[in-house]
Amino acid sequence: MKTSSHSSCPFHAGGQPPVPTQHPIGRWPPGPKSGLTGWGVLGQMSRDLMGTLAGWQREFGDLVHVRTWPEHQIIVADPQLARELLVNQADALQRWERALSVYRRVHGHSVLIAEGQAWRDKRQALQPDFTRKSVQAFSPSIVEAARLAFEQWPAGDKAWPIESELTSLTMEVILRMMFSSGMGDEAQQAEEAVHTLMVASTAELWRPASLPDWVPWQHKRRRARLLLNGLIERHLQARLAMPQDAWPDDLLGRLLRLHREHPQDWPLQAVRDECKTAFLAGHETVAASLVWWSWNMAAHPEIQDRARAEAQAAWPGAEGDAVEMSALQYVSQTLLESMRLHPAVPLLMSRRAVKPVTLGAWTFPARTVFMVPMQLMQHDARWFPEPLAYRPERFDPDAAKPPLGAYLPFGGGPRVCLGQHLALAEMTLVAAQLLRRYRLSIPDGALPPKPVFHVSQRPDQPLRLHIERA
Given CA atoms 350, 355, 356, 359 in this order, what sign does their dihedral have? negative
| Short-list 372, 347, 367, 356, CA closest to 70 | 367
Which residue type sits at 174? I
The phi, psi pair for 215, rounded to 5°, reads -60, 135
Contact of 221 with 200, CB cutoff 8 Å: yes
Contact of 141 with 426, CB cutoff 8 Å: no
Given CA atoms 258, 259, 265, 267 in this order, what sign does their dihedral have? positive
Return d(Cα 57, Cα 64) in angstroms, integer: 7
Contacts of 27 (CB under 8 A, 6+ apart): 362
DSSP 380: -
DSSP 78-140: -HHHHHIIIIITGGGEEE-HHHHHHHHHHHTT-TTT--HHHHHHHHHHHGGGGSTTGGGGGHH
C-alpha 232, offset from chain centre: 23
Contacts of 126 (CB under 8 A, 6+ apart): 111, 258, 274, 418
* 275 is known to lie in a ligand binding site: no
The upper half-sphere exposure of residue 275, i.e. CA atoms within 13 Å in the direction of its Cβ, equals 28
Which residue type sits at 197? L
Contact of 467 with 440, CB cutoff 8 Å: yes
Cα 192-339-122 angle, rounded to 5 deg: 65
Contacts of 172 (CB under 8 A, 6+ apart): 145, 148, 149, 182, 183, 187
Cα separations (Å) of 341 from 194, 388, 400, 416, 457?
25, 7, 18, 19, 11
Using DSSP's 3-state secondary structure scheme, residue 412 falls into coil
Return d(Cα 372, Cα 214) in angstroms, integer: 35
Number of H helices, E strands in the chain: 17, 12
Can you say which residues are annotated as belonging to the binding site for heme? 417
Can you say which residues are annotated as belonging to the binding site? 417
